[in-house]
Each structure stands twice: as C-alpha cells, then as structure tokens.
Amino acid sequence: MKGHTVQFQSKPRIVATGTIAGPKECAGVVGKFVDKALSDDTFGEDTYEKAECKMLTYAVRKAIENGGYTEEDIDLLVSGDLLNQIISASFTARDFDFPFLGVYSACATMAESMAVAAALVDGGYIRKAVAATGSHFSSAERQYRYPLELGNTRPPQAQWTVTGAGAALLVDGRDELAEKSPVSITGATFGRVVDYGITDVNNMGAAMAPFMGIIEP
C-alpha cells in the first residue's frame, strides 16, 4: 500500500460485463454499447424500485452469461445502490445462490464494489466475483429530492441520476481464464470524505467530486 492506494499483485481481470440503461441514457452514444437498451423506464414492473432491482439482476446475470459461466461458478457478489438499506442490491442478491457483500458510496458505489471485489480476488480468497451497481432516476428523485409530480423547477445545472445498471465479472489474474480479457484492475485508491459545505440537492456533483485545484483558502 502506497499512500491511500493499494496495488494488486495478481492484477484481477474483468473478463465480462453486463449492462443495461434507460431510454434517456440510450438516446446518446451509450445506447450502442449496452447489452440492453430499455424503451420503457419501468422495465415492465409496477414501481421504479422494482424496475431498478430488475435492471440490477439483469446486469449481474448478463455478466455471468457473457463470461461463459454459470451461477454456480460465482463465489461472491459485491453490490450497492442509492436507496435506503441498499434495498435493490439486497433484493437482487436474494435471487442468487452466492454470497453478497453490500457497499454504499453514493455515485462511487461501482468503484467501491470493484475495489472490494478486486482486493478479495487478489488476496486469493475468492476466485470469481461480480461487482455491480444500479440506479434509477425516478427512485433517486424520491429518495433525495422531491416527488416527480411536484411542479417545481430544476435549475439548468441540476444533475440527472442514471437509469441503468452495470456488472463486472472479476477473476484472478493467475487464472487460466484471465487470458480472455486484456482489462485488469492494477490498483485502487480509497477516497477520504471531504465536506465543503455544499447543501444544494440539485448539485450533488459539486459535493461528491470536488475540484480542489483553483480554490485558495
């Protein structure tokens, strides 16, 4: 460990991914690269929370399938989301037979789940792990901001929570299957919590990814 960064000896490989995104996300270039582009943001479910959970389940299942594995091969799922008690990730894990580690880091949940999964894979404790996360614009609006039908205005700088889910399947770099992928996780830097007093719910980017370069105290 150097500073806040850990270097992984075996360089865990990302051998497969599973991705899904909502209609607004797929309207741009992202649409061409996801496994499934949704045209209906409820994904056929009756609530947005259920849709979020279904998207996450889809992403995890797709990553395993894309890697050419079965669910019995997977040793661990590391996942989280934006809702209370990381409920979408927990309900997703309910559908699978492998163990689950829940993580929460708001927008950095995917990075955290990959870092945790990579550390366990690199340590040799786990052979194959899936790191995943998902979110839904409509469920996040209710969790952090106002009801969707409330007639308030969004300032132009307001950010938009992604409707989508992604999963990455990690294997040990020494594994014979590792050859299948050129992408490896060589290290991870764990972040500190810094609070610069941003309280604007419409500008969470400024709170979560502060840029320190220019500000003089």
Partner 1 sequence: MTGKDNENFNKNYIDYVHSFDPPTKHFKNCLRAFLVGGLICTVGQFLRVMFERLLGLSGDELSGAVSIALIFLGTLLTGFGVYDRIGKHAGAGSIVPITGFANSVCSPAMEFKTEGYVYGMAAKMFIVAGPIIVFGVLSGTIVGLLYLLL
Residues in the site for partner 1, rule: CB under 8 A?
46-47, 49, 142, 146-157, 196-198, 203, 206, 210, 214-217
Comparing CB distances to partner 1, the nearer of 149 and 176 is 149
Comparing CB distances to partner 1, the nearer of 150 and 193 is 150
H-helix or E-strand spanning residue 66: helix 48-66
User: CB 199 → partner 1: shortest distance, Å?
Assistant: 9
Closest of 113, 120, 119, 123 to residue 92, by C-alpha: 113
Comparing CB distances to partner 1, the nearer of 28 and 197 is 197
Comparing CB distances to partner 1, the nearer of 82 and 120 is 82
Comparing CB distances to partner 1, the nearer of 29 and 150 is 150
User: CB 158 → partner 1: shortest distance, Å?
Assistant: 10
Strand, helix or coil for residue 89: helix
Check if the beta carbon of residue 42 is closer than 8 Å to that of residue 180. Answer: no
User: CB 205 → partner 1: shortest distance, Å?
Assistant: 9
Q: First CA to last CA across the chain, in angstroms?
A: 30
Exposed/middle/buried for residue 93 (C-beta within 10 Å: 0-12, 13-18, 19+):
buried
Tokens 């290290």 locate to: 187
**What is the chain's length?**
217
Check if the beta carbon of residue 8 is closer than 8 Å to that of residue 129. Answer: no
User: CB 147 → partner 1: shortest distance, Å?
Assistant: 4
User: CB 85 → partner 1: shortest distance, Å?
Assistant: 14
Comparing CB distances to partner 1, the nearer of 39 and 152 is 152
* Phi, psi of 159, rounded to the nearest 5 degrees: -95, 160
User: CB 135 → partner 1: shortest distance, Å?
Assistant: 17
Check if the beta carbon of residue 178 is closer than 8 Å to that of residue 171. Answer: yes
